[in-house]
Amino acid sequence: MRPGMIPESRHERLDNGLRLVTTELPHLNSVCIAAFATGGMYYETKRNNGVSHFLEHLKFSATPRFPTRDAFHREVDSIPGETNAHVTPEYVAFFIHTAPEYLARASALIADALAIRSFASEEVESERRLILTELAGDKPEWGQISTAKFIAKHPFGLRSAGTPRTVSRLSVGELSEFDRRALCPTRLVVAVSGSIDAQALDEARAAFSALTPSGAGPLRRAWETNGETLQLTCHVARGTRRGASISFYSPTVLTPRERCLQWILARNLQRHAGLMGQLRYGRVQSYHSYIWNEELFGFGAIHIAGTFKRRERLPFARYALEHIRNLRNGNFDERLFREIRDSLGFGIRSALDNPYSISERTGTWELENAHRPTCTIEEDVRLINALSRDDVIDFARQFLARDRAGIIVGTNNPLHFTGRYRRLLDKYLG
């Protein structure tokens, strides 16, 4: 195997329709088994928002073989490594990253969790209380606040865990119906990557072959984003959190090359965000930029956010927009560009030493519900190495544009703040 390349994966379809993808990485000392199902905000409506997250809780708290939370978690604790489940806007994932000798037990546990079953009312209410407690203590990220404000009529505006209102009214029937449609074996993909023992893989194959198809129809996409152009509903809005956020959204699905350009652009903003937090504002509690990329249907977004006092919000926006204007005008040091590009290439290649990264990449591709452009790890590295500083500057002029920008400001005075920030956008991005 050449450096920077994923070894060829083996694809097979079991008798019950489940797709199994195996990638052997014999040089590693661990193995990851991950199951992927359609779900998330892409398949939810405003009424049942959070049903995928609710189902993930139910599936990974009790199973037919381990019918109580205590019994299930005792089995989880007996398997060394990491066991987890999560929901993205496009799929639900269950995975166990463990030592090779535990692959058979890990497979049996995930297969047991995926089995379609009836949910008891007491079990549902117990998980509902837990989720509502999580939501009560959960402060949405600035990016979530921004998308909910700027792109309200889009799944971007939904929360992966739902809202207290939607979670409170989800019924046992709705959860069971979603279970039958989302986790039917014909719509499941299981990816195994790492140091794989042949006998353990046979046992895993037998465990997943035992899953029974539900006979229910597939989930329908609640949102059609293929070929869609994102439109911001406004450009300046009021928020409830202390601080401010500046966001930029791509209007169309990013190509693999554009995705690499956005990574470099975000890293540049992160460098300057950290410098600003250290040198210009001693009272800044957190100042960061982060990138949403593949997880949001292929559309790109960059958010630069800070949490600080009221008098620091306008200077923050002015400083950030001034740097963005300079970047659009070509102020990007060649040495910094090369450092960022080389760092990104190394980070992508290092995924080859992480069985979960390989399982996620191979499994989600096989899921066939992702309409975004995709490419291999070696193709990502090739694209990044081929980029120049001028390519990034040209992309910045397109991506960091006035009509793609939105500012959220935490304020109690909605009458006077809007004009100031609109004038800033016009001055630096107009």
Question: What CATH number is associated with residue 246?
Answer: 3.30.830.10
Do 199 and 246 fall into the same domain? no
Task: Establish if 226 belongs to a structural domain.
Answer: no
Residues 329 and 375 in one domain: yes
Q: Of 11-25, 153-167, 403-417, give the lowest mean pLDDT range.
A: 403-417
Do residues 165 and 63 both lie within one domain?
yes
Minimum mean pLDDT range among 31-35, 65-69, 404-408: 404-408
- By DSSP bridging, strand 19-24 and strand 10-13 are antiparallel
Which range of 5-19, 46-60, 212-226 scores highest in mean pLDDT? It is 46-60
**Which pLDDT band, with edges at 50, 70 and 90, does 312 fall under?**
confident
CA atoms within 13 A on the CB side of 322: 9
Cβ burial 352-373 (10 Å sphere, 16+ → b, else e): bebbbbbbbbbbbbbbebbbbe
Arithmetic mean of pLDDT over the chain: 80
The answer as to whether 5 is a domain residue is no
Is 222 a member of any domain?
no
In a domain, 87, yes or no: yes
Mean pLDDT score, 103-118: 91
- The CA angle 408-91-96, to the nearest 5 degrees, is 115
Provide the domain count of the chain.
2
> pTM of whole model > 0.85?
no
Shared domain check, 248 and 109: no
Check whether residue 262 and residue 410 sit in a common domain: yes
312: in domain? yes
Range of the domain at 309: 236-429
Which of 158, 193, 209 delimits the end of a domain? 209
Are 7 and 358 a contacting pair, CB within 8 Å?
Answer: no
pLDDT, tens only, 131-181: 999 888 776 666 677 777 777 666 666 788 888 999 999 999 999 999 888
Give pLDDT, residue 287: 39
- Does 98 map to a domain? yes
Residues 388 and 280 in one domain: yes
Domain boundary among 160, 193, 209: 209
Asked whether residue 58 falls in the same domain as residue 107, the answer is yes
pLDDT digits (tens, 9 = 90+) for 315-333: 778 888 888 898 899 988 8
The answer as to whether 244 is a domain residue is: yes
Pair 245, 145: CB distance under 8 Å: yes
Q: What is the pLDDT of residue 292?
A: 43
pLDDT (average), residues 419-429: 84
Query: Mean pLDDT across the stretch 6-17?
Result: 84
What is the per-residue pLDDT across 251-304, written as a single tens digit (0 to 9) for each? Answer: 777 788 888 888 888 888 877 655 454 434 433 333 333 434 434 556 777 877
Examine the domain organization and report whether 258 and 204 are in the same domain: no
The answer to the question of residue 15 being in a domain is yes
Q: Model confidence over 321-367: pLDDT tens digits?
A: 888 898 899 988 899 899 989 888 888 777 777 888 888 878 877 77
49-74 pLDDT, tens digit each: 899 999 999 998 888 889 888 899 89
- Domain end call among 190, 209, 228: 209
3-state secondary structure the chain: CCCCCCCCCEEEECCCCCEEEEEECCCCCCEEEEEEEECCHHHCCCCCCCHHHHHHHHHCCCCCCCCCHHHHHHHHHCCCCEEEEEECCCEEEEEEEECHHHHHHHHHHHHHHHCCCCCCHHHHHHHHHHHHHHHHHCCCCHHHHHHHHHCCCCHHHCCCCCCHHHHHHCCHHHHHHHHHHHCCHHHEEEEEEECCCHHHHHHHHHHHHCCCCCCCCCCCCCCCCCCCCCCCCCCEEEECCCCEEEEEECCCCCCHHHHHHHHHHHHHHHHHHHHHHHHCCCCCCEEEEEEECCCCCCCCEEEEEEECCHHHHHHHHHHHHHHHHHHHCCCCCHHHHHHHHHHHHHHHHHHHHCHHHHHHHHHHHHHCCCCCCCCCHHHHHHHHHHCCHHHHHHHHHHHCCHHHEEEEEECCCCCCHHHHHHHHHHHHHC
pLDDT (0 to 100) of residue 196: 92
Question: Once rounded to an integer, what is the mean pLDDT over residues 303-308?
Answer: 73
